Chain A
């Protein structure tokens, strides 16, 4: 029978599927960090249980660390306590930890792929909703709660209800200057913030196939922002080339066997999905969110919508509430919205290609006097590479702050927070009320648009910017 990629991954990982029990599936890789693991470790100890596969578990520090110092104490008392607790737990249970200043440290969803810990055909979980990122490799990857973290610790398995399947095809090629972030925001704009709840989404089509691994990760990363359990992209030569010789990837004959097996990881041509969505790549424009959910998004050359534009009463009400919170008036041109903060970073957009794209815009320019802009690389490896390529210096010369790796202002668990009324162009993934700081206003954008907005002090139409640059 023809199967989708998800169904193949599911079949390969089901341990037990009974009528009266939620199916039990195997977990190949468990990534952990300081915020959602301590209570799981505590329960494990309370019940005097062993951690079944420490070698399948990898820890990093990312969520609440300082981006100004590698000292644990620099993160503040509460964070420092969590970081020390993670250190202690990893030592006690024999888990490899990439702690403060370690060459492998980084945001969990940046670190895993770049080290080759993320492999096609595996099930990867983490106590973080952006675990969907790893689906870019054809891995079934999803976020879990702390009780589930504990379940994985003790059993290396999880109980999961089988999801429905959705195929999202992006046909043709995007226009020059359109990023992976624009593709995924455009998709979310079409589905709405809960359009894929209960589904595992597979992204396909020419525009997806042409993406690099970094770009594919940006797309899959935001799967959760429209409710999907996970996002998937079938692995191909791009995937295998990226992974070959990575530190934790298989080597030699095992690598050959792996690639052989991975080549079968695609949806069969005759496979049917429960739902379909098709986009025309050439119609995708530069995206900017205007509201307080990622689905409240529009094109940069457009205007802030009005509640009257929505027929659904819930959307109408949400628009009204969002405009109030965001301090925006319907009909305002997006390019007339002034910003005073810029954040380039997060598990969505802090990889080397993101920094290259932003630096290309910033090169030789100056950040507007009315804007504070920070660049936070996703990992120490990204940081080193960006410094070696001169990107860091480009940012510094342009007036951006160049920080140490971490989750930083994406969720503001450390001191990288916005204050009330701040308006931020952010390359992160959530524009929820208060996400980056109480009363702060977040607009989700691509790294290119974040950099251009930092320089202009407001959103800019990148196509016009390019024309101006070419004309000058």
Chain B
């Protein structure tokens, strides 16, 4: 996993609540056996007017010229709800998003982001409202610093919380499977005391 320390980038404000993973990556694109090839289908039904994905929907915010190259997604509450498909954060990452800012995330989606090196940032609804106002007025660049856990905008600075281990994994690009395999003796001790039915 790539390390994450700081990131500065263009913010795209996707003003919608309860964006589900079916919307982020519809089911017809889940038939791959690799982790790549999902970015082009990100938000397919919103992004394209046709099923083949040839005709961009000019009304959809990701298609607007001023947001091309965006790498920070600012969005509404309960982002990533629904299906556990990791294809959703894979699609966001391949499209170019490194940071997602919302007032809340669905649990599985949040874990999936951490596991692949996307930084999900939770801020209060008041702050999110303020950030939307900034980003909708004119395209904004935010910078995010993981060591100090801050989001810096042109006008303000906000602190966010992140579990210490999640921060450590992101900063160091930890291979979480390898990390746990170093604790094999603990797992074996646990297994040795399990009841027969378990």
Contacts and interface: CB of A to CB of B under 8 A. Distances in A.
A15 B193 CA distance: 11
Contact of B176 (A151, A193, A435): A151
Nearest to A314: B17
Contact of B77 (A85, A194, A257): A194
A107 to B, nearest CB: 15
A81 B31 CA distance: 8
A73 interface: no
B71 to A, nearest CB: 21
B180 A159 contact: yes
Given A21-B165, A121-B198, A146-B86, A15 B81 contact: no
Interface residues of B, number: 57
Interface in A394-451: 411-413, 430, 432-435, 438
Contacts of A161: 163
A10 interface: no
A147 B166 contact: no
Contact of B166 (A22, A49, A85, A318): A22
A229 interface: yes
Contacts of A432: 20, 22-23, 82
A207 interface: no
A156 interface: yes
Contact of A434 (B26, B77, B83, B105): B26
B107 A197 contact: yes
B116 interface: yes
A318 B197 contact: no
A461 interface: no
Given A194-B81, A411-B27, A22 B86 contact: no
A229 B105 CA distance: 12
Interface in B24-66: 26-28, 30-35, 45, 51
B153 interface: no
Contacts, number: 183
Nearest to B36: A39
Given A22-B163, A413-B30, A154 B181 contact: yes
B86 A147 contact: yes
Interface in A244-288: 250, 254-255, 257-258, 261
Nearest to B51: A438
B86 A36 contact: yes
Interface in B79-126: 81-86, 89, 104-108, 111-112, 115-116
B177 interface: yes
A122 B16 CA distance: 38
B31 A79 contact: yes
Contacts of A144: 84, 108, 111
Contacts of A20: 164-165, 168
Contacts of B28: 412-413
Contacts of A231: none
B22 A318 contact: no
A101 interface: no
Contact of B18 (A43, A146, A261, A318): A318
Interface in A1-41: 15-16, 19-22, 24, 26, 28, 35-36, 38-39
B112 A147 contact: yes
Contacts of A79: 31
Contacts of B104: 194, 197
B123 to A, nearest CB: 15
A298 interface: no
A317 B15 CA distance: 10
Contact of B181 (A35, A143, A155): A155
Nearest to A226: B81
Nearest to A259: B197
Contact of B33 (A28, A82, A155, A224): A82
A122 B198 contact: yes
Given A147-B112, A432-B23, A293 B165 contact: no
Contact of A194 (B78, B163, B177, B190): B78
A435 B26 CA distance: 8
B115 A148 contact: yes
A205 interface: no
A321 B23 CA distance: 14
Given A194-B77, A254-B197, A64 B180 contact: no
A15 B184 CA distance: 11
A172 interface: no
A145 interface: yes
Contact of A145 (B77, B111, B180, B191): B111
Nearest to B76: A314
A218 B104 CA distance: 27
B187 interface: yes
Contacts of A24: 180, 183, 186-187
A157 B187 CA distance: 8
Contacts of B85: 35-36, 145
Nearest to A49: B177
Contact of B23 (A121, A154, A317, A434): A434
B197 A258 contact: yes
A227 interface: yes
B180 A198 contact: no
B33 A129 contact: no
B27 A129 contact: no
B116 to A, nearest CB: 6
Contact of B34 (A39, A150, A254): A39
Nearest first, the 9 A-B pairs at minimum CB distance are: A78-B31, A258-B197, A38-B33, A147-B115, A145-B112, A145-B86, A194-B78, A143-B84, A146-B86
10 contacts: A16-B183, A26-B191, A38-B33, A49-B177, A121-B198, A147-B116, A155-B181, A197-B105, A227-B81, A227-B106
Given A24-B183, A146-B112, A198-B107, 13 more contacts: A26-B187, A28-B198, A39-B34, A42-B34, A85-B33, A119-B198, A146-B86, A155-B187, A159-B176, A197-B105, A314-B17, A413-B28, A433-B45
